[in-house]
Chains A and B, each alone.
Chain A
Amino acid sequence: MALRGPSLGPHLRLLLPFLGGEPWSEVPGGEQHQPIGVYLAVWGLLFVLSALSYLLDYFKVEPIGLRRFLITAFALLKARLIVAYFMHLRFERVGLVYAILLPPLLLLALVAILLPEGQYVATVRRLFLGGP
């Protein structure tokens, strides 16, 4: 589940000494927010993950299953970073966080239905329309 872990993810925890400051601070009006260094660190991480994804494709890393697994993993990691830090979901109340994160899980059901469906259509096409 996204947004687990201590108040900052371990990857950012390693960077924090270089960024200075608490993971979050109070400003007038009770808004919590992060020091600018956290934004820059997340930005940098997004670049690194994108570059790694690109390189996986560039060098056509084999087996293809491993390549696709890593590309998916990096994409989900990037999504998590964007949602947690750029969209501040770490700092919202749990009621709101779960109202946002749970409904999209329904899409997994759609994917679970559509993947076998796609395979089935391909099989039927090969049977009746010919082709590879």
Chain B
Amino acid sequence: MKEKGLSQPGFLARLVGEWSGDLATFRVVWAKAMMWIFLVSDSFIFGCFLAGYAAARLAATEPWPDPSKVFALHIGEREFPLLLIAIMTVILISSSGTMAIGVYHAYHRRKGYTALFLLLTALLGLTFVGMQAYEWTHLIRDLGFRPWGNPMGAPQFGSSFFMLTGFHGLHVTAGVIYLLAVASRVLKGVYDRAGSYVGVEVAGLYWHFVDLVWVLIFAFFYLF
């Protein structure tokens, strides 16, 4: 059965049809619907953090520290602005790519490839967390950044930074553990026995969401 694109005529009629008549509205596996509901709630958490950061930044009377300088990497004599964050972004986007390919193989029920790409995704996620730990250490120890102040300008910079990136890093860490659990289930053949690999797709939804949040943090905190 071919699903129509949303732009085709009659999508409103279908929307009404799906919500009416005591039918199952979503008709997806419950795990998928539940993960989506969790992600919607999570988007509210990060949305509130970003909105709060915007308000705090607007309310700051001291100059806002320039992220390009704060997060610069020194390689030899030269200083590369924001390079560390750019590398972290590349790594997280790559992990989203490997996750998508893992889900693609899960659709085809290829156990080995699915597990391989899940582990690769987890490894990239772990790399990301490691770089973030380095970034935090450097900022706290070498540059003297604190949640209540810093030597480079507005104290709100520290509070926003540790809140946003800390919460996101927590999500990545939880995601790595989640991916490892799912990968072990794939290898044990749990999904083969259940006759469905939807668990991999649900883990993928979570992972892509973490990537999505980073896209917004990268744009609004590091580049703005």
Contacts and interface: CB of A to CB of B under 8 A. Distances in A.
B216 A104 contact: no
A99 B56 CA distance: 31
A57 B205 contact: no
Given A7-B5, A50-B90, A100 B40 contact: yes
Interface stretch (B25-33, B127-135, B141-149, B174-182): B25-33
B40 A103 contact: yes
Best-buried of A68, A88, A94, A126 by chain B (most CB within 10 Å): A94
Contact of A82 (B18, B63, B215, B219): B215
Contacts of A94: 6, 11, 14-15, 18
Given A75-B218, A95-B19, A39 B33 contact: no
A95 B24 CA distance: 10
A132 B63 CA distance: 9
A31 B107 contact: yes
Contact of B220 (A33, A75, A107): A75
A119 B107 CA distance: 50
A110 B93 contact: no
Nearest to A112: B51
A92 B6 CA distance: 10
Contact of A93 (B18, B90, B215, B216): B18
**In terms of DSSP, what is the predominant structure of the interface of chain A?**
helix
A119 B44 contact: no
Given A5-B7, A98-B15, A111-B54, A72 B219 contact: yes
Interface residues of B, number: 65
A63 interface: no
A27 B107 contact: yes
A122 B219 contact: no
B55 interface: yes
A42 B157 CA distance: 33
B96 A43 contact: yes
8 shortest interchain CB distances as A-B pairs: A118-B58, A75-B219, A95-B18, A121-B59, A43-B97, A118-B55, A107-B47, A131-B61
28 contacts: A5-B5, A27-B107, A33-B107, A36-B104, A39-B100, A42-B100, A43-B93, A50-B90, A50-B218, A57-B68, A74-B219, A79-B215, A82-B212, A86-B204, A87-B204, A88-B201, A96-B28, A96-B36, A100-B39, A103-B40, A118-B55, A119-B58, A121-B55, A121-B58, A121-B59, A125-B59, A129-B61, A131-B61
